[in-house]
Structure 1
Amino acid sequence: MLFYLQANNPNLIRKDREMWNITIRALVHLGAILVVDVFFHFLYILTIPNDMKLVKDLSDWSLAGLAYSNLVYDWVKSAVMFGVINTVSRLDHLDPPNPPKCITMLYVFAETHFDRGINDWLCKYVYDYIGGNHDGIFKELVATICTFSITTLWLGPCELVYIWSFFNCFGLNFELWVAKLFSLPPLSTIEGLMSEAMSRRIRGLFNAVNFWQIVLYNVLALNSLDFAKFVAKRLLFKGFPVSTLSVLLVTYCGIQLVKERERKMALLEEPEPSKPKTD
């Protein structure tokens, strides 16, 4: 419906500096295309996980970086595909959907998607339709099961897709379970006594663990089950405590920076309070 209204709008007027913004977006996407080309030809991040003999010789940090880079690559690929189409659409006075959120900016499963169009459709007709405000544990469970059942059929049912769907469905529900647990006393009372900074730090620790859950669960779909199991074993067991805590510390610092950026953006978007009129 929105596309129909935009495509049939007779009053086509460019906003201020709109062509400048479109040009900048096009240059950014051109740079992203070059980055993807470099990833393909020189970094071998997609082929290295298929050689388990080589993977076993990598250090813990190299292994973590390889798993993370695979998700970054997939996001860049999606961002380029959506970005080029979005740029052309804006030239035709259309307002296309936003590209997927960068994996570096993610720390909750609810925002994890690489195809915004399919994600918006699933949220509108399945996930939000069944789950409502997503506060009820049972409704959320039914909503996520139905959503990932449809996603499984869309991706093509197979063992790897079943495992990927199960873990991502679990991740969405686990977030709600933890949030419900911390909203109950005595945990809610303890958090209420903390300063805002301390509460943010503790939540950041959980978000850091959540980030690596997102990485491990989605590496399944991008590479293989063997690679995902090997990364999890090295980072959680063989690399504990030095590698595990070091990776979580770096992730924690990155998440705090992301949260601070989101907080500043939210403050900028807030309307300024109206000043009282003076005679």
Structure 2
Amino acid sequence: SETKTASPRKGQSPLVAKLLVVDQVFHWLVWIGGVLYALGCFATSSTNVTLPQVVPRDFVDGSYGILRDKDTADEEWYRYSTAIRRFWYWVLLQPLISQLLFKKIPEFLPHFYFVYSAIFMLYNLTWMTVLVFLASYAAFFAAATVGSIVACYVLALVIVLHSSFPVLGFLKPAYPSDGNVSAFLAQVGLSWTAARCLSFSVDFVRQPERPSAPRLWQTLAYVFYLPSLFTGPLQNYDGFVAQLNKPRVAWTSGELRGSLLQLGRCLLSFLVLEACLHFCYSSALAYYPDLVESLDLPGLLGFGLCLTLVFFLKYRVLYGFGSAVARLERIELPPPPKCVHRIHLCSYLWRHFDRGLYLWIQRYIYQPVVAGQWTLKRRVAGAAASFAFVCSWHGMDRAVVVWCLLNFVGVSTELLAGFLRGRRPWRGIERRYLTGIWLRTARAVVTTPHFLFSVFSCLFFLSNVDVGLIFLRKVILGFPLPLVPLLFVMYCGCHVSMDAMDWDKTGSADSSKHL
């Protein structure tokens, strides 16, 4: 589904080439204009403007001198942003210390990473939190030492499920009772820790000729690496170790500029997100389906777009901050998410929104199920197992279950389409009738309903089942309005997405030439 189409400009006359450029510009203008129009309709709607007076408990006074009230209904962002403001200097201090102390003795870097994170947790959380994290690590270490992959997976599943359904009483002391932020960090950090522990333990057991036990300090450094300990992104063990063992040299001006640029992008995303929380109250509105029902159609579409925009910006900040700091230590974490408004395929969204989690699922869930047999049936089974894990990772409430089921349907549809496209009858039709720009147009037409389906499925995850059903009734089933004009705008969005995917591939190819 991601195969690059032949460039429609090669071999064309200047007039045709200009028309194709006009066509491309038209698609971009329609898509950007449609998105901005819908967001504007939502921001200026009476439902959005008066929401702080209707449900004042979800708002606080504006920040940074902004006179409008601020939406605080997104508890995840409220706690993460509070933690960043409270602990940012701990994270930024780590690369400075490691560069000063261990430039000439890099063999002690793993010791430093673990000890520094342990001090952070002891000082800012509780000693019981540190003890439970270490006990979880020790359990995986023991399972790896005895060579039991089953035990590794069972441990990971138990810890992840406990984060959603805290039924294991002996883990309760790990969550500090003196503040929501500390307890939240301990809870999400334990899930991240379980995922990293599974990575190092399974990688160790799978080695054809393995030593008696995993490398202690190297695995501790990986599991407790502070820039990604509580926020992500997730990185597989082999990728971390390969970078940890690289020779250490002094910072270059280019490296510093790159990290500062990445931090600047995070700051810009943070400011845009804060502006959204002051002017577009989608997070608070998502809890009140009766008020969502009162939005007109453009405002409803803008509300849905705002939910996805806020979600993207949130993780652009969280993943981008940790990645920028790690880059100062020459550790390349998976990149921050790509903007959801430029992705029209379910599979591409899963590959590039949370790249680290995707690569982790690919290695430890999808590939073991496929087992090297890349048939349609095996790949669908692998997708089912992957989304079952995603469901457990995100809590398994009704909205998450619906979201995972819909995404499984979307990805399976893409797998089926790829399978059919590889069959002889379709290949003949494609070679004969669909070449160049016509193939691109056909793809946009075919994937437009899929694009709408992908966005629709995300609304369940970002709000709740009741709000998702409102979109189903008023948008998906709203023929001819708003469905027909919406499909046209999303058709243009598919062209924008394909342009962006082509640019991504060109950028990757150019980067590889300089390696």
2:498 equivalent to 1:259: yes
Provide Cα deviations, 1:99-131, integer angstroms capped at 9, x if missing partner.
122212212222224433322211111113333
Aligned to 2:15: none
Q: How does 1:42-121 map to 2 (within 5 A)?
A: 42-113=279-350, 114-121=353-360
| Residue in structure 1 matched with residue 30 of structure 2 by the alignment | none
Shift in CA distance, 265/151, structure 1 to aligned 2, threshold 3 Å: closer
Residues 126 and 147, structure 1, Cα contact 8 Å, conserved in 2: yes
Deviations 1:140-163 (A, max 9, x none): 121012112222222223333222
1:242-274 Cα distance to aligned partner (Å, 9 max, x none): 421211211221221232243245346547xxx
Closer, same or farther: CA 220–3 of 1 in aligned 2, 3 Å? same
Q: 1:233 to 1:135 in 2, by over 3 A?
A: farther
Aligned to 1:223: 463
Between the aligned residues of both structures, percent identity stands at: 22
Distance of 2:503 and 2:241 partners within structure 1: 35
Go from structure 1 to structure 2 and tell me whether the alpha carbon gap of 1:144 and 1:267 turns closer, same or farther (over 3 Å shift).
Answer: closer
Which position in structure 2 is the counterpart of 1:149?
A: 388
CA, structure 1 residues 78+270, in 2 after alignment: closer, same or farther (shift >3 Å)? closer
Q: What TM-score do you get using the length of structure 1 for normalisation?
A: 0.87
Structure-2 change in CA distance of 1:61 and 1:94 (3 Å): same
Change (3 A) 1:270 1:210: same
Q: 1:134–1:257: structure 2 CA closer, same or farther, 3 Å change rule?
A: farther
Task: Tell me by how many angstroms 1:196 deviates.
Answer: 1.6
Q: Alpha carbon RMSD of aligned pairs, Å?
A: 2.3
Larger displacement relative to structure 2 (217-226 or 39-48): 39-48
How far off its partner does 1:33 sit? 0.7
Structure 2 residue matching 1:47: 3-state secondary structure: helix
The match for 2:120 is none
* Residue aligning to 1:3: 240
Given residue 380 of structure 2, which amino acid in structure 1 is its aligned partner?
L
- 1: distance between equivalents of 2:405 and 2:415? 16
Out of 17, 20, 35, the position equivalent to 2:254 is: 17
The DSSP-based 3-state class of the residue aligned with 1:17 is helix
- Name the amino acid aligned to 1:33: F
What is the alpha-carbon distance in structure 2 between the residues aligned to residue 252 and residue 15 of structure 1? 45
Contact 2:316 2:336 in 1 (8 A): yes
Residues 157-236 of structure 1 correspond to what in structure 2 (within 5 A)? 157-184=396-423, 186-194=425-433, 195-236=435-476
Q: Is the 8 A contact 1:29 1:80 kept in 2?
A: yes
CA contact 2:407–2:457 (8 Å) conserved in 1? yes
Shift of 1:180: 2.5
Cα distance in 2 for residues equivalent to 1:98 and 1:244: 35
**1:28 is matched with which residue: 251, 261, 265?**
265
Gaps of 5+ in 1: 272-279
Determine helix, strand or coil for the equivalent of 1:85: helix
> Cα–Cα, structure 1 residues 221 and 267, in superposed 2: closer, same or farther, change >3 Å?
closer
Q: Is the 8 A contact 2:255 2:328 kept in 1?
A: no
Work out the CA distance in 2 between the residues paired with 1:242 and 1:31.
36
SS at match of 2:457: helix
Verify the 8 A CA contact 2:380 2:415 in the aligned structure 1: no
Q: Distance in 2 between matches of 1:38 and 1:111?
A: 28
What TM-score comes out, normalization by structure 2 length?
0.49
Give 1 or 2 for the bigger CA radius of gyration. Answer: 2
Distance between the aligned counterparts of 2:483 and 2:261, measured in 1?
Answer: 40
Partner Cα distance (2:246, 2:438) in 1: 51
Q: Distance in 1 between matches of 2:278 and 2:368?
A: 44
Q: Distance in 1 between matches of 2:398 and 2:508?
A: 44
Contact 1:207 1:255 in 2 (8 A): yes
